[in-house]
Structure 1
Amino acid sequence: MNDFDKQLHAKIDDLPTEKQPQRDLWKGIELGLTSEAIVEEKAVSTRVSSNQWFALAASVCLASVLWLTVPQFFDTHDKESPGYALVESMSQQQQQQVTSLLASYQSVPAVTDNWQAQMNELDDAALAIKTALKNDPNNAALIRMLHQVYQQQIALIERVHAPKWQQI
């Protein structure tokens, strides 16, 4: 060990083992906690619509898993195409989601008047896709298309009744 290292170790040994703050830190901690709680409350209020998306996605995933693992739980209308049970399950869940959203926005006026026409067009598109799925119930592309149409319906309802520019 050379002279420089000895001096360095001596200086390190002379340093105090604890450092005390120069001011009261509790005020800053309290302010940080309260502002963090306010930010969290705002995030929770804006997460409502994203939670609805997550609920829809989770229900579709659950239906898919159940359809793949336990097909006897689904009541199929056409025993020749048991794969269509997933489509029926998705349709039922979509109808429940739409009904729930419309009920939650019942007291909120719509921003536009022609949203029902747009909703009817999306319903027609879903019906066309479901008709195609009756012939080919395991077509992944058609199932994705149906899922996208359902997502567009939910987004339309949310945009018409609770647009982002009104949430600011």
Structure 2
Amino acid sequence: MSNKEFEQQLQRNLSALPDDIQPERDLWPGIEHALGQTPENSTQKRATGYWGMAAATATIGLMGWLGLSQLPVTSDAEQLAQVLSQQHQQQKQALLASFDGQPALTDNWQQQVDELDGAAAAIKQALKEDPNNPALLRMLQQVYQQQIDLIERVHAPTWQKI
């Protein structure tokens, strides 16, 4: 099929589509529910949103700092791993506190977090043996980010947001 034939076929198919598509169900009840939230409910969601923004800002700042700076060739890499671990623990605790009382989507999410903790411990052990390896530091940061993403997805999935 030539390019011209393809374009003609595409135009025919596009013109055959209806001009507007009606939703399969009435969407107004969901909109009314979202608009009719109580003030304390929206305040709680706003506070959760602030924690999420703070966590995202800290993560982006750390990623930018790691990406823009040259990784040191001395034992500062070990100190950087410690700082990275401390920041992650603070961020994780703040995130878990913000989701306190909210039901999780799965029952085994804590097991997944523990598995990621095990991966972080293995990377830290490898960093002790090879402290000047920037790939290991990036892997550690990625494991920490996966843990944060997991906690957020389990407690505040995107399909629940309007």
Q: Report TM bin, short chain.
A: 0.5 to 0.7
Greater CA radius of gyration, 1 or 2?
Answer: 1
The CA distance in 2 between the partners of 1:57 and 1:125, in whole Å, is: 22
Q: C-alpha deviations, 1:88-136, integer Å up to 9, x for none?
A: 0000000000000000000211111000010010000000001001111
Does 1:81 pair with 2:84?
Answer: no
Seq. identity, %: 53
The CA distance in 1 between the partners of 2:101 and 2:123, in whole Å, is: 32
Does 1:53 pair with 2:62?
Answer: no
Match of 2:84 in 1: 90
SS of the residue 2:57 aligns to: helix
Unmatched segments (≥5 aa) in structure 1: 1-44, 70-79
The CA distance in 1 between the partners of 2:54 and 2:137, in whole Å, is: 22
The CA distance in 2 between the partners of 1:143 and 1:119, in whole Å, is: 19
Q: Say whether the 8 Å CA contact 2:96–2:151 is kept in structure 1.
A: yes
Q: C-alpha deviations, 1:35-76, integer Å up to 9, x for none?
A: xxxxxxxxxx7x76465323222145558889979xxxxxxx
The CA distance in 2 between the partners of 1:55 and 1:152, in whole Å, is: 15
TM-score (norm 2): 0.61
Match of 1:144 in 2: 138
Q: Where in structure 1 do 4 or more consecutive aligned residues deviate above 3 Å?
A: 47-51, 59-69
TM-score (norm 1): 0.58
Unmatched segments (≥5 aa) in structure 2: 1-45
**What does 1:18-57 align with in structure 2 at a 5 Å threshold?**
49=52, 52-57=55-60
